[in-house]
Amino acid sequence: MQRKIQVINVQKMETMKNVSLLILTLLIAFNYGCDEELVYDAIEEANPVIESFEPTSGSYGDEITIKGDHLGSANMIYFGDSLATIKYRISNNEVVAKLEKGSVSGYITVSNTVGSVSSASEFTVVYAVPTIADFTDQQVLPNSVFKIEGDNLEVVYDVYFGSSKANIVEKTDDFFLVEVPFFEEDEEPANVSLSYNNNGILEQVQSIGKISLYRILPSFSVIPNQGVTGSEIVFEGENLTLIDEMLFNGQSASFTVNDDGTELVVILGEDLFSVSASEVTVKASYFGGTQEEMLSESFEVVVPTVNYYSGIKLNSGC
């Protein structure tokens, strides 16, 4: 009976030992997966040494393992002239760097507080070429939001419609949302072009589909010729929702437009003008500031004045 109890106790001890080892293994694995500062060796401050790196070529976002000595204290890593992200410091002999957008081919340079060293051979950056998904020829309004789909769009710097640069509203790896710029009629129909970095050289790819503009213009039928600062003045017309700015002597005034685009109300802020009465120019700007229309060259702005009188006694009734 006593021997049986001893056997059971030994089995329990072995089980507890195995459980402890399992927990320790899981903790080590968890720390390895979550901690990007994985330096287990004592870090000796000295000039870094690069013995090898792999792979020897890669694209934006790839991780490159660099091996050598005194790498655990690395604070900067360059691929050519491009700064990389230090992703993991595995040990004093191994570090992992991530290629960033715009990286160029060249020698790998590792620096720490003591000094720096460059690799004996060059790293080759392989550049992804963006592509634009086919779309049918279409007409769009200037300043409207247009969706561009494709592949490898993360390497794109700028988007053009013809020769006019578009404002990028949203960007992901597989689509763009851009504001369609105004471009001249002689460029219609225009290709959509994407500019990207090809080993330090900006190149472009073009869409097969082409874009034309709905050339709907704002028009004014009622233009006031006078206004008092601090008050509202009303302009009437058609397509006034296309207006981006109302400019009084070049200064932008606040305004609102009704839903059908037939009425535009300007608030003449008191900070726009400093003289008691003046004639100013009034312009309407639209299509992202690329087009302006002169509405008045002699709009009269009246600034109310306050008169102060002295020597007047008020009868208080007492």
**3-state SS, residue 20:** helix
Count of CB atoms within 10 A of residue 82's CB?
18
Position 26 scores a pLDDT of 54
Position 7 scores a pLDDT of 42
Q: What are phi and psi of 5, to 5 degrees?
A: -65, -40
Position 265 scores a pLDDT of 96
Which residues are CB-neighbours of 256 under 8 A, at least 6 positions away?
264, 265
Q: Which CATH fold would you assign to the domain 219-302?
A: Immunoglobulin-like (2.60.40)
H-run or E-run covering 7: helix 2-34
- The two tokens of residue 155 are 């390497």
- The two tokens of residue 201 are 């050289």
Domains 131-213 and 219-302 share a fold: yes
Strand order in the sheet with 63-69: 49-54, 63-69, 94-98, 85-91
Q: Name beta bridge partners: 278.
A: 301
In a 13 Å sphere around the CA of 311, the CA atoms on its Cβ side amount to 0
Please name the amino acid found at residue 61.
Answer: G
56, 97, 178 from 119: Cα distances, Å:
11, 14, 41
Position 216 scores a pLDDT of 84
Position 16 scores a pLDDT of 56
Listed by start position, the domains of the chain span 49-125, 131-213, 219-302
CATH number of 131-213: 2.60.40.10
Position 34 scores a pLDDT of 43
Residues of the chain with pLDDT under 50: 1-10, 28-41, 318
Position 228 scores a pLDDT of 86
Q: Name beta bridge partners: 192.
A: 161
**Assigned architecture for domain 49-125:** Sandwich (2.60)
Per-residue buried b or exposed e for 234-255, using 16+ beta carbons within 10 Å of the residue's own CB: ebebeebebbbebbbeeeebeb
How do residues 195-237 score in pLDDT, each as one tens digit? 987 766 788 999 999 999 888 889 999 999 988 888 899 999 9
Please name the amino acid found at residue 243.
Answer: I
Position 168 scores a pLDDT of 92
- How many angstroms separate the CA atoms of 291 and 142, rounded? 11
